[in-house]
Amino acid sequence: MIRQTVNSLLAACVVALALAPSVRADSAEGRARRLVGTWTVQNETTDPQYARRTPTGQVTFAADGTMTVDEGGFAAAGIVNGSARGSCHRPQAPISFKVLGAGAKQKVYLSWTGAARKAPTSLYPQDAVLDVVKLTRNEMILAGQGGCGDVGAVRISYLTRVR
């Protein structure tokens, strides 16, 4: 009887340890870690800021919950690199991100301060909520409407991991 109880407990511990990595990967922190890295961006939208001026870009998500727009535009978030053409505010560091929800309801929240191009001391808080359409190790599809750009225009960004 005692041997069966001990064996049952050991079996339960083995199962719990085997499941632990998947539980951690499904936590908010685990989902945010999947974003960490550098990604190329291909934008799809009718918004002229991203369709014509910045149809591509590159972004880097860091483990500390910040990100940068390294070049070009990130249409889904409505953010462009500070040197990109257009009227969008230049993002000031840090741009923070959080992953919210799970599965089909997963979202990425971004928050930053933008500096006006013609009056760089004029700062404006900005944010965006992105729907996660697809997230794998090497590919993300994000859709959003926040940040800078045509109000109401849906913008899609296809991201491919660089490293």
All domains of the chain in start order, with CATH: 28-161 (2.40.128)
CB 13 within 8 A of CB 121: no
Question: In the prediction, which pLDDT does 82 show?
Answer: 87
Question: In the prediction, which pLDDT does 26 show?
Answer: 56
Question: In the prediction, which pLDDT does 11 show?
Answer: 44
Q: Residue 63, by phi and psi: left (phi above 0), alpha (psi -120 to 50) or beta?
A: alpha
Distance in angstroms (rounded) separating the CA atoms of residues 1 and 68? 60
Question: In the prediction, which pLDDT does 33 show?
Answer: 86
Distance in angstroms (rounded) separating the CA atoms of residues 30 and 8? 30
Reading the chain (163 residues) residue by residue, the pLDDT tens digits are: 555 544 444 444 333 434 444 434 456 677 788 899 999 999 999 999 899 899 999 999 999 999 999 999 999 999 999 888 888 889 988 999 999 998 778 999 999 999 988 888 889 999 999 999 999 999 999 999 888 888 788 999 999 999 8
Closest CA to 145 of 160, 119, 158, 127: 127
Question: In the prediction, which pLDDT does 31 show?
Answer: 73
Report which residue type is found at 69: V
